[in-house]
Amino acid sequence: MKILKKGAEADVYISSWNGKKSVLKIRKEKKYRNSSLDTRIRKQRTIREAQIISYVKSFGISTPLIYFVNYKNFSIYMQYVKGKLIRDMDEKSIPKTCLQIGMIAGTLHQNGIMHGDLTTSNFILTSKHLFVIDFGLANRTEKPDDHAVDLRLFKEILNSVHANVMKKSWKNFITGYEKSVGKKYCKKILELVSVIESRGRYATVV
């Protein structure tokens, strides 16, 4: 099996499922965690990822199809999405894509889902759609504070990984987000982002 990514939490392989090219994501053991807690966390994240990836399709978000879940060895077989990772795209095209990412983030929030790892490494652009992946840290939550955490992380990623196009990208992201959630809610979440930033641990991102 060809390894796609060795992550901190999971290894991702190119594999095959029922003759279809697929992605196999296996959550690894964390030795520093107490073993029964570790098992519980890996099981919970595996199940949650599979459930939420499928659930969000019902409100028009493109995500990989789930082929098979094995919560005993913490693995998921899913559709291989052929496309380009947004993080690796030409800088020039990042701002435009951020408009779409903002709309997707807004749609998720409006439907009570926070992504939990909203970064440009978790979006794949195919010839037709922008796919969202990696729902291992996603949650069902209507809490504005949780939604603000998604936005704050995305802003931080723009600032660190896409610094040259940060301003335009963030502006577009907000425009897209506002399209989905409306002016009032968008304003509220942006205020909460400022609150998070003012908590010291985080520096304000301009």
- Out of ligand ATP, Mg ion, none, what residue 24 binds, judged by CB under 5 to 8 A for its kind, is none
Q: Give DSSP secondary structure letters for 139-159.
A: EE---HHHHHHHHHHHHHHHH
Alpha carbons within 13 angstroms on the beta-carbon side of residue 111 total 17
Tokens at 136, concatenated: 């291992």
CA distances from 96 to 74, 93, 106, 113, 193 (A): 36, 6, 16, 24, 22
Which residue's CB atom is positioned nearest to Mg ion? 134
- Out of ligand ATP, Mg ion, none, what residue 132 binds, judged by CB under 5 to 8 A for its kind, is none
Q: Which of residues 103-132 bind Mg ion (CB under 5 A)?
A: 121-122
Would you tell me how many other CB atoms lie within 10 Å of the CB of residue 98?
29
Site string for ligand ATP, 146-185 (x = CB under 6 A): ----------------------------------------
Amino acid at 201: R
Which of 11, 90, 117, 150 is the catalytic position? 117
**What's the min distance (Å) between Cβ of 121 and ligand ATP?**
5
Separation CA 183–CA 107 (nearest Å): 14
Query: Which positions lie near ligand ATP, rule CB under 6 A?
Result: 4-5, 7-10, 12, 23, 25, 64, 78-81, 85, 117, 121-122, 124, 133-134, 136
Query: Which positions lie near Mg ion, rule CB under 5 A?
Result: 121-122, 134
